[in-house]
A = this chain, B = another copy of it.
Amino acid sequence: KIVVFVERLLYHRKDLDGQHVLVTAGPTREPLDPVRFLSNYSSGKMGYALAQEARDRGAQVTLVSGPTRLAPLEGVNLTLVETAQEMFNAVKAVFPLVDIVIKAAAVADFRPCHKAQEKIKKDQTGLVLELERTDDILGYLGEHKDKQILVGFAAETGETITHAREKLARKNLDLIVANDITVEGAGFGVDTNVATLLFKDGTFLTLPRMTKNELACKVIDGIVKLLKFQQGG
């Protein structure tokens, strides 16, 4: 226990001191009507773990979060949002001010084309719901980034590394955290994850199953490496 504590003290070497980090977390909710919505199983745990780790290592942290069961983090600026559109607006507002963006939120890709003003009645035996794409937040950030380090996630079901590598290039990311959510102990709701970090220079780091706090630490390590490279260090 003492060893862990001392390691933690040594470890927290404030290597994000002076950096402003934007973390997005949780799901979004896309309303069909005043009662119903489309969402996903994201618990927000990975994003909150990243925000906490970044804070502990000296960063100024802004967390933009969809609806979760998690408590606000002390010392972290929190903006709560519901929809993908609200998430996009909140991210765009703070993006020019930050050095690092970690997009851990599971933003809805699709939303209902129309939101009914009244609750949809259930007279009919079925219903056809037309969905449209939401704005591509990560795509926007990749296009508009200046000096910012951009970190994304790829939660996949099969062919994880291929999909993630393709996403890293397409979205102009610096680092992507890929995980296969069908693997036991990975993905939504659980406290652990099994992930591979893929860097834009083609290097990668395959990690064993670990807690989301431990993975957050590895991701921040990766970001610090990128920062040093950027600074020619």
Which of B126, B131, B156 is within 8 Å of A127, CB to CB?
B131
Pairwise interchain contact B35-A181, C-beta atoms closer than 8 A: yes
Output the nearest chain B residue to A42 by Cβ-Cβ distance.
B35
**In the docked arrangement, what's the CA distance between A37 and B69, Å?**
17
| Stretch of A11-19, A97-105, A117-125, A220-228 on the interface side | A117-125
In the assembled complex, A106 has its CB within 8 A of some CB on chain B: yes
Of all chain B residues, the one with the shortest Cβ separation from A35 is B40
CA of A124 to CA of B128, assembled, Å: 17
Q: Find out whether the CB atom of B34 lies under 8 angstroms from the CB atom of A37.
A: no
Note all chain B residues with C-beta closer than 8 A to A182.
Answer: 34
Residues of the B chain whose Cβ atoms lie less than 8 Å from the Cβ of A117:
157
Contacts of A133 in B (CB 8 A): 122, 124-126
Contacts of A108 in B (CB 8 A): 36
Q: Which residues between 139 and 197 of chain A lie within 8 Å of chain B, taking CB atoms? A: 155-158, 181-182, 188
Per-position 1/0 for A24-45, Cβ under 8 A of B: 0000000010111111110000
Contact call A128/B128, Cβ cutoff below 8 A: yes
Q: How far is the CB of A139 from chain B (nearest CB, A)?
A: 11
Q: Which 9 A-B pairs have the closest CB atoms?
A: A109-B122, A129-B129, A127-B131, A119-B157, A118-B157, A69-B69, A36-B40, A35-B40, A126-B132
Task: Show 14 residue pairs from A and B whose CB-CB distance is below 8 angstroms, ordered by the A residue.
Answer: A35-B40, A35-B41, A37-B41, A38-B38, A69-B69, A117-B157, A118-B158, A125-B133, A126-B132, A127-B130, A127-B131, A128-B128, A128-B129, A129-B131
